[in-house]
Structure 1
Amino acid sequence: MYYYKLNDKLLFSQSMYENLENCTLEEIINCNEVIYYLIDRDPKSFRDSYCVSHIDLLFFKREGINLIDNCRIPMVTHKWIEDKINNNKICAINTAYPNWKELLASKPNKKFRINIVGLGDVGGTLGIGLRLLGGDIIDKIGLYNIDSNALNRWNYELNQIYSIDKNQFPPVEMINEDNLFDCDLFAFCASAFVPKVGSNVGDVRMVQFEKNAKILSHYAKLARKRNYKGIFAVVSDPVDLLCKVAFLESNKDSNNILDYKGLFPSQIRGYGLGVMHARALYYSKENPKTLNYVDEGRAYGPHGNGLIIANSICNYDEDLSLELTKKAKEANLDVRGTGFKPFIAPALSSGALSLLATLRGDWNHSATFMGGVFMGAKNRLTSSGVEIERVKLPGKLYTRLVNTYEELVNII
């Protein structure tokens, strides 16, 4: 093992880095701050950084569903490493990314500034949720929309949400494209196409993908140009595929060649799975056999075709899980059947509540980078990076996850 010091950060690795200053094992052991474990993996299919929450994460050569499935082989390492893992004090850093040293920058605790792009049904409702619920964690909410009337409307409306406690609500302001990335979290809610109620379009998400990808590409490239270091949150459909677009487009140079100098994958997150978990929870109450979903159930994958609802990770039942998956996936059709577009629950469950959970470091359902794709799973953002919940997956559930994962790989 090799031990290093870079500025005020301590690092260790199984590989030698000749351009780094050495430090002692004692310094590493006695450090009370997060320390960094250096690896060298292909950026195309391996994360830039992550929380080392299990011993086996120190040794992965490839990433995929193994990030969700708990290690089944007993592993032993130095006690000081185990202690730091148990206290979330180790962050893995992938030095194959050219700008990896930027990942060592301290991120002080503070309130966050959120900028919302796209003030349609989802973006506007997201703003309502953040204004009402984010006073403890949000410093300011910025609004941007190409339609000036919509921009003015939501600026008026959101700033007029008040109660007696006037300090409870974060201020809202209109912004322009020049200061779009002067924030800690950029929420992409723009959409070029939303099917009308009553239209027969099949998987709405895939119909939206091509047009929304073109819009998102512009902002991904702009994020690179502005050297943006905050969270790039994709709320528009389909979030998992659009996250991949954001990663690829922001990491291309002027010759359209991947150089991995744009957004780190850890900066990009997709927010669509929260509402599928909420819908599964809603429908689980209809059957006494699925009442345990609230405590034991899980949601994985996209929030359209490929969605996986598990009735329980303790007592998995394939038939009950498939039934809940079908109901959750088709819930939007139930809302459309009433004559209205289904945007309120997605904007709040997948959007506002999940964004706030991310900023607070709480568990939430969202899509993060796993082996070259962005896939939804329960995760949280810790001081040592993204931690994806790992469980001992039942065999049939594991097979479903692999199938969904491979579908995402094959799309983009």
Structure 2
Amino acid sequence: MFYYKYNDKYLFSIKDEYNFTKINSIPNDCQELYFLNCLNKENSKRAFAVNHPSDLFIEEESLDMLRENEKSYDIPEKLIELIDKRKIKAVNTAYNDYENCFYMEELKKRKVNILALGDVGSTLLIGLKLLGKNSISSIGIYDRSMDKIKRWEYEMAQTSFPFDDLLPAVQGIKKEELFDCDMFVFCASKGVPPVGSEGLDVRMVQFKGNAELIKEYASMAADCGFKGIFAVVSDPVDQLCAAVLNESSGVLAPEQIKGYGLGVMNARALYYSKIFNKFSMYLQEGRVFGPHGKDLIIANSITDYDDELSKELTKYAVEANLEVRKTG
């Protein structure tokens, strides 16, 4: 290992190819550390938390990072300790601005801003209001309809637990204030195909219109040098995330853009696992991979995998939204 110091930060690498000030070792009281690697930035993030010693030796980001191996790694005990505490950040030096990653986010409540208060945005707002006491400082809401903003301000201002006024405050904001936050959540949509269009891939039908919408906000985020999380909830999640990355022209890093579609698919798999006993192993052993759509892959169990059951459960999860749409 090679160790360096940059300002008040301690760095290390496997290869001696950096011009930072060299040091013999990291101090015993070091509480955070930055690992320098150089991966192809076309398919690798600018930074990520090191979760396992094997993360220090990868040559690319791939599915192999999800596989736990039995290989032993001869690395200092101090590094093992910091990995266990999630206090080592891997920084990809292939990015021009990688030095901007030499920091650790402090644990504090975050400010969240939501764009669009339709069915999805308003449901999200209710959930964040009720569940965000310990992690959210405030919630900003914006919609093209001023009436919706006022209505939800009233509703949320009158939502509280008995004898507890500690839920995050909700206030309407202006469009130009959307990126004055730690997390921006895109819930806007140009419309959903009418019930009866089930022969189409409903998510992809929405892509053209929603891509036009999201590109506007990706450009806004880039123009203001947004440093927070750009969260995508609207369909099709994966393709819209790619649109944000491309439209931001490198200003937004890949790890800043988060698509929240896979969690929905996991919830649907859990739902059917409770209904049908043959899928019950998913509740404790299952995993879900891939996009929020027809290319989803559900494993019924990671310890006793059954391909037939997994494919059947995948089909249920992928088509669950069609069952909901049948209800009107």
| Aligned-residue offset at 1:303 | 2.1
Give the 5 Å matches for 1:9-408: 9-27=9-27, 30-71=28-69, 74-80=71-77, 81-250=79-248, 252=249, 260=250, 262-339=251-328
- In 2, Cα distance between equivalents of 1:206 and 1:3: 48
Greater mean alpha carbon deviation, residues 162-171 or residues 205-214? 162-171
Cα RMSD for the two superposed structures: 1.8
| Separation (CA, whole Å) in 2 of partners of 1:314 and 1:200 | 35
SS of 2:275's partner is coil
Report the counterpart of residue 398 of structure 1 in structure 2: none
Q: Give the whole-Å Cα distance in 2 for the aligned partners of 1:64 and 1:245.
A: 22
Q: 1:235-254 deviations in whole A, cap 9, x for unaligned?
A: 1111112112211211x2xx
Displacement of 1:139: 0.7
Out of 199-208 and 288-297, give the one that drifted further: 199-208
Larger Rg: 2
Q: TM-score, normalising length from structure 1? A: 0.75
Contact preservation (8 Å) 1:47, 1:266: yes
Identity, in percent, stands at: 46
Moved more, 198-207 or 212-221: 198-207
Shift of 1:17: 4.9
Instruction: Provide TM-score, normalisation by structure 2.
Output: 0.93
Q: CA deviation at 1:79?
A: 3.3
Q: Structure 2 CA distance, aligned partners of 1:89 and 1:77? A: 19
Summarize deviations over 1:118-154 as a string: whole Å, max 9, x none: 1111011110111111112111100011222222222
Could you tell me whether the CA contact under 8 Å between 2:9 and 2:102 is conserved in 1? yes
* 1:346-388 per-position Cα deviation (integer Å, ceiling 9, x unaligned): xxxxxxxxxxxxxxxxxxxxxxxxxxxxxxxxxxxxxxxxxxx
Give the C-alpha shift of residue 68 in structure 1.
2.4
Q: Does residue 5 of structure 1 match 2:10? A: no
Distance 2:254 2:74 in 1: 28
Deviation at 1:183, TM superposition (A): 0.6
The answer to whether the 8 Å contact 2:214/2:240 transfers is: yes
Q: Return closer, same or farther for 1:26/1:6 CA change in 2, 3 Å cut-off.
A: closer
Q: Secondary structure at the match of 2:302?
A: coil
Change (3 A) 1:35 1:26: closer
SS of corresponding position for 1:168: coil
Q: Partner amino acid for 1:243?
A: C
Q: Is the 8 A contact 1:55 1:77 kept in 2?
A: no
- Which amino acid in the other structure matches residue 326 of structure 2? G
Q: For the residues of structure 2 that align with 1:264 and 1:208, how far apart are their CA atoms?
A: 25
Secondary structure at 1:279 match in 2: helix
> What 5-or-longer segments of structure 2 have no aligned partner?
none
In 2, the alpha carbon distance for the partners of 1:160 and 1:154 equals 10
Contact preservation (8 Å) 1:307, 1:329: yes
- Look up the SS of the partner of 2:11 in the other structure: strand
Gap runs ≥5 in structure 1: 253-259, 340-412
Amino acid at match of 2:76: K
